[in-house]
Amino acid sequence: MTNNVGDEAALQLQDLLMGTENVEDFLGRLAEFSAATLSHAAGAGIECGVTLQRRKKTMTVAGSSPRAVVLDRIEQSMGDGPCIEALRTRSVTLLADVATDPRWPGYQLELAAQGCRSVLGVPLEIGEDAAAALNFFGSSTGLFTAEIIAEASGFADLAGRSLRLAVRIGTAQSRAEDLKAAMEHRTSIDLACGVVMAQSRCSQEEAMGILTKVSSNRNQKLRDVAAEVLRNITGAEVRTHFEA
């Protein structure tokens, strides 16, 4: 991948990342962009599926088209193939011709029935406990030349960086949402504690002890007990508010 092409691809991947709301959306757009990029380089239509691996299990998470998703899922159902091999070896894996390659005969018969003649699996590094791969599908042989493979590898490196950033952003958003929920639950418990203090004329520690005992006796979470106390006072749900 030349510097000019690489810079352009990096900018477009950055735009993709900024224009999506979550990791799942980004993966779908990444599959479409990956297919378009390699199709342009090869001068022929190439489709792309995205496979995610977590705890040694793989699954199809996105595709450039419904057909790409179907093709990618064939490999997941068979349990082996060039994409899974790419994840296992952390290296680009080429299935140049489904009619002549001896490695995955059952998988290749399924691909041939779908009109797919060649496949290129390209790994993406996204973290210590997860990995992903781009699975490129060609409708003819000879598409994945040395030049196209080099192009795919260079693009995958850029895509991997963008995906790692997308995962970090998604993780940060999830943690922020968890923190917000925890703050809301804590506030509800504190309000309920105040209600018990007023009704029972007791200390805050004693009120918390009463709520905790009710939680244990009913086998309910403390926040649910607190919410019920507040509903009994107001006749409605009490909501706390924090800026997002």
How large a percentage of the chain has pLDDT more than 90? 32
Mean per-residue pLDDT, 158-184: 52
Domain shared by 35 and 135, yes or no: yes
Range of the domain at 78: 3-173
Please report, for the domain that includes residue 57, its CATH number: 3.30.450.80
In the chain, the number of structural domains is: 2
The per-residue pLDDT for range 102-125, each reduced to its tens digit, is: 999 999 999 999 999 999 999 887
Domain shared by 120 and 165, yes or no: yes
Q: Where among 151, 173, 195 does a domain terminate?
A: 173
- Total-model pTM: 0.60
CB 65 within 8 A of CB 116: no
Residue at 244 is within a domain: no
Domain shared by 107 and 194, yes or no: no
Domain shared by 124 and 217, yes or no: no
The confidence score (pLDDT) of residue 12 equals 47
CB 64 within 8 A of CB 31: yes
Domain shared by 8 and 52, yes or no: yes
Domain shared by 126 and 219, yes or no: no
CB 137 within 8 A of CB 71: yes
Domain shared by 23 and 142, yes or no: yes
